[in-house]
Amino acid sequence: MPDLTHHSVLLAEAVDALAISGGRIHGVYLDGTFGRGGHSRLILERLGEGGRLIAFDKDPQAIAVAKRFEDPRFEIVHESFADLDVVLDARGIEKIDGILLDLGISSPQVEAADRGFSFRLDGPLDMRMDPTRGVSAAQWLASESEEKIAEVIREYGEERFAVQVAKAIVDGRSATPITGTKQLADIVAKAVKTREKGKDPATRTFQAVRIHVNKELEDLEVGLAKAWGRLSLHGRMAVISFHSLEDRIVKRFFADRATVRQPHRRLPIRAAELPQADMKLLGKAKPSLAEIETNPRARSAMLRVVERVLLSSGEVT
């Protein structure tokens, strides 16, 4: 196995939540966000010889790390987990026994100036998880309308000065193309009138632009639905989110599946005919103080875990 430079958040807790034991050690599992392989490595330690782990990642650097995993049970796929149905169909896999999603960005991505994720390191304004596909942050900011930029910063960054920041970006690009991270951070800093304690004024804008460029929330909504449709009976899903937008989507999706509106109690329906939820909420967890001390980026993480407890009519186990 390769050396791991990224500290996977809630490593043991997330993999424990998949309950890889008994007959399920020979099952099929997905790591939807490989990163630097911390979760995948531990999943492989739990799997039996007949087990299988398919990992996904959009980042070519993560793919390069994954290709050094010498394990016949493991496969890395250079795609978003939102495409998991296509990947599974191509391999003739109908059901999976568990999936783990570790959302957000990894430390190596943030700490590499040339990736353009950090407002603290000057580099090209890229922000794409996969620099070989799609439109970079610089390209998007150069062509998008002021109204749309404000909408993205307000919705994805929860920035109350979104209108002012968008205007400053449009005014700035009319004079000089915005191509660097420090350049954008300086523009934002002048537009944000008050600063949150301990937080750089560019934090929310950078988060918003990154989420939009990578379609992170769209991928999350699609991926959750597709993964749930593939889970076998008693299969589990563990999701680690890092900000309120992600966690809100996960929490709502889980809540909708775990509760079913019941018919009026006076209707002539037998108990066996009452609609039942197909999901069971197994709880949530946050990093310990010890983990946060060693890895400050873990402080906002939230792990939520669910189990499939009912298959729809016509589904196979």
pLDDT in tens, 29-84: 999 999 999 999 999 999 999 999 999 999 999 999 999 999 999 999 999 999 99
- Measure the CA–CA gap between 8 and 57, rounded to whole angstroms: 15
| Fold adopted by 11-102+216-308 | Rossmann fold (3.40.50)
Write out the binding residues: 37-39, 57, 81, 102, 109
Angle at 281 between CA 276 and CA 283, to 5 degrees: 165
Q: Which residues pair with 54 in a beta bridge?
A: 30, 75
Strands (E), the chain: 28-31, 52-56, 74-77, 96-102, 231-241, 279-285, 302-308
β pairing state of 52-56 and 28-31? parallel
pTM comes to 0.90
Tens of pLDDT, residue by residue over 268-284, are 555 445 456 799 999 99
Asked whether 223 and 80 are in contact (CB, 8 A), the reply is: yes
317 three-state secondary structure: coil
**CATH 1.10.150.170 describes domain 116-214:** yes
Domain residues of the chain, as ranges?
Answer: 11-102+216-308, 116-214
Where is the binding site for S-adenosyl-L-methionine, in residues? 37-39, 57, 81, 102, 109
- Per-residue model confidence (pLDDT) at position 192: 94
Report which DSSP code applies to 200.
-
Three-state DSSP at 192 gives: coil
The SS3 call for residue 191 is: helix
CA distance 219 to 67: 24
Q: Model confidence over 217-271: pLDDT tens digits? A: 999 999 999 999 999 999 999 999 999 999 999 999 999 998 765 555 555 555 4
> 189 or 297: which carries more pLDDT confidence?
189
Burial (CB count <10 Å: 0-12, 13-18, 19+), residue 155: middle
